[in-house]
Chains A and B, each alone.
Chain A
């Protein structure tokens, strides 16, 4: 399935966060980053711009508002502390923030000995169905999806979350996971094949 490069995702009843930027916008954003590198109080522009996106990203992976607020604050503090090391690579600044947020989330679950949270919504079932080959008749529902997801590796879950649950373009998935857009497409394709097999296995049981 091919998606347009600039895609916007609308959460029901909520503001529309923009997940991708044009090259010109990325360049303009770089001027803001440079300003914040010399004067931390100017980081406020970037903070205001990305706070909600990062918060939602973390909430999707924790489902706990208070914990999410803490991890979000840590993400932005880490970003400010390390901003001087940030250099222009032609990708949105948000990709760097998502990477820091992912590290914070993983660190939290590792240190607290808790299991990694995966959030599912009813509408994800249809999203996954859409990705399956039309010719294959598979019974997919939320209970079966839950069972199947438990058989995926953490990095595969991360890919599913970014691409299907959060509906990010391949380019952005690649930016966040530090891989090329093509590599992201290949990996996602393999996961779809794996999912199909897992759903089949469930039907055969």
Chain B
């Protein structure tokens, strides 16, 4: 028998980009809701979906036509122009906008309580048809000052391709009589975004980034002019105004940090490695082993760093190189250009490097021996820590739930103002691109206090030292700097609950085990108490 198949030879190939154009979960979800949501009974007759899609496409075509008509009359497009609705994890906890009324004809200067300033020029706004907007315009503004703000507001962190190291983030939108207005073409608002950042945050090459909802992408804009206004080391934390602490009593985190300082963690031996890890490149570093006693027992130490960072660097033109220990297995290398290179515009380069002990029978035997000693020392230390903590919890620690961290425990900070032009309404950030290859990719395991597996839907990581905040719904692997005490991890469980990782997760090879503690939270203050380091 012969079947009547329609055989097509070598049809056009589709790229991921071609396919991505059809992908739109928001539209799918809307359609799902319109069709009555989940089917609970027996599958019924199929609904006239093609008809629906046909109508939807007509609607979409009309929208596209409208956008094309008005495009060119204002910067950006309707989707990025103030219509971005962010969805946080808790529907009843929101980061509210502050409302300002400005005179669209004359322009105005807006002063936000954070210290940020927005200069609105005269005749800056147009309506959806591109016609000038006159009279009073409502400007809504909110600022996301730390990872908790971003988490609660549901600010999209990365677009999969890039993660940003932020020195400020804000959202601005405008309305006239309840209808959105847009920033006119060739007009721009002047933003002075005030923020508090880690003292380690590099500020030389900050750029402005605007979020495009349609493409789910942070788009790089112009260079940001930065002014450092305070380097006092310690700045007011919003929590300090919530609960005053005179410093005589300590929170649990502060007490733990003190204990950990008192009983130093034993140094984990370096595991000999066969070859250079994937994506890394060996560095020809010559250093004095006296300066690095942790390597004293090894005859040969090699260094590796992310290939994507090191390979483009020129070999010549450097005057000095500094090496700083960041954690047990990680170092920061700072390459300082010589005067001639500086004149050509070359800047200091910082990247993370990892020591590597070449694998031989001897290094392996030494490692096995050292590992046993390390494990034994680590067990002893944990016992001491647990005993001291138990004793503290029965004494002073009984009051710990009303005490915030002592200011001295915080990483040094600086206060800055980032100046850049805002050409469209929406989400804006002053930031550096951050290469996530710098962070180890680990296999996370989420357990409860009894060691049972915990299901998580989305993981959030805040690295306050690097001004990084990123999230991932892919929980099979995670970029995580386990040795960094300024890194904090939390998650939203599959039931929508908040789970906070206990400090000092356990590392076993590439696996990092997090003990997740369920948190009962009702207010922003509850969340801040748990998530502010």
Q: Tell whether B32 is near chain A: CB-to-CB under 8 Å.
A: yes
A154 lies within 8 A of B40 (CB): no
**Contacting residue for A51 out of B23, B33, B38, B495, CB 8 A:** B23
- Determine the distance from Cα of A56 to Cα of B23 in the docked complex, in whole angstroms: 13
Smallest Cβ-Cβ distance to B54: which chain A residue: A70
Q: Are A47 and B10 also in contact (CB < 8 A) when A118-B5, A150-B5 are?
A: no
- Nearest B residue to A37 by beta-carbon distance? B38
Q: Compute how far the CA of A144 lies from the CA of B191 in the bound complex, rounded to whole angstroms.
A: 68
Within A37-65, the residues touching B (CB, 8 Å) are 38-45, 47-48, 51-52, 55-56, 59, 63, 65
- CB-CB under 8 A for A45 and B473, given A13-B15, A51-B23, A150-B7: yes
Output the nearest chain A residue to B496 by Cβ-Cβ distance. A39
- CB of B281, distance to nearest CB on chain A (Å): 23
Most chain A CB inside 10 Å of its own CB: which residue of B8, B455, B494, B495: B494
Interface residues in B1-50 (C-beta closer than 8 Å to A): 1-16, 18-20, 22-23, 25, 28-29, 31-33, 35, 37-40, 43, 46, 49-50
Which residues from chain A contact B12 at a C-beta distance below 8 Å? Answer: 65
Contact of A98 with B by CB under 8 A:
no
B53 at the interface (CB under 8 A from A): yes
A151 in the interface, Cβ–Cβ < 8 Å? yes
How does the 8 Å CB contact mask read for B99-131 relative to A, with 1 for contact and 0 for none? 000000000000000000000000000000000
CB <8 Å contact, B39 and A81: yes
Does A72 lie within 8 Å of B22, measured CB to CB? yes
Whether A116 pairs with B5 at a CB distance below 8 angstroms is yes
Is A83 on the interface with B (CB-CB < 8 A)? Answer: yes
Closest to B8 in A: A63
- The one of B8, B15, B18, B35 in contact with A77, judged by C-beta atoms closer than 8 angstroms, is B35
Q: Are B476 and A25 in contact (CB under 8 A)?
A: yes
B456 contacts the other chain (CB 8 A): yes
What count of chain A residues pass the 8 Å CB interface test? 61
Closest chain B residue, CB of each to CB of A142: B9
A35, A43, A83, A85 interface centre (most CB from chain B within 10 Å): A35
Chain A residues contacting B8 (CB-CB under 8 Å) are: 63, 117-120
Q: Is the CB of B38 within 8 A of A77?
A: no
Q: How far is the CA of A72 from the CA of B18 in the complex (A)?
A: 14
Task: Determine the distance from Cα of A34 to Cα of B7 in the docked complex, in whole angstroms.
Answer: 40
Report if A28-B9 is in contact (Cβ < 8 Å); known contacts: A52-B16, A69-B22, A77-B32: no
Quick check: A117 and B6 within 8 Å, CB to CB?
A: yes
Q: Which residues does chain A contribute within 8 Å of B40, judged by CB atoms?
A: 84
A151 surroundings in chain B (CB, below 8 A): 1-3
Q: Is the CB of B32 within 8 A of A32?
A: no
* Interface membership of A3, Cβ < 8 A: no
B321 within 8 A of A: no
- Which chain B residue has the least Cβ–Cβ distance from A72? B22
Residue A205 CB within 8 A of the other chain: no
Q: When the two chains form the complex, which single residue of A52, A63, A154 contacts B19, counting CB atoms closer than 8 Å? A: A52
> How far is the CB of B526 from the nearest CB of chain A, in Å?
22
Is residue B475 contacting chain A, with contact meaning CB distance below 8 A?
Answer: yes
B457: interface (CB < 8 Å): yes
Residues of chain A contacted by B16 (CB below 8 angstroms): 14-15, 52
A154 to B495, CA, bound (A): 43
Q: Say whether B22 contacts A55, CB under 8 Å.
A: yes
Q: Which 10 A-B pairs have the closest CB atoms?
A: A31-B455, A35-B494, A63-B11, A69-B22, A115-B6, A63-B8, A35-B457, A45-B473, A44-B25, A81-B39
CB pairs A–B below 8 angstroms (19 shown): A31-B455, A40-B32, A40-B33, A43-B29, A45-B473, A47-B25, A56-B14, A59-B11, A68-B22, A73-B22, A73-B49, A74-B50, A76-B28, A82-B38, A118-B5, A150-B2, A150-B4, A154-B3, A157-B5
Additional 5 contacts, C-beta under 8 A, given A48-B23, A107-B46, A117-B6? A31-B456, A38-B495, A77-B28, A84-B40, A150-B2
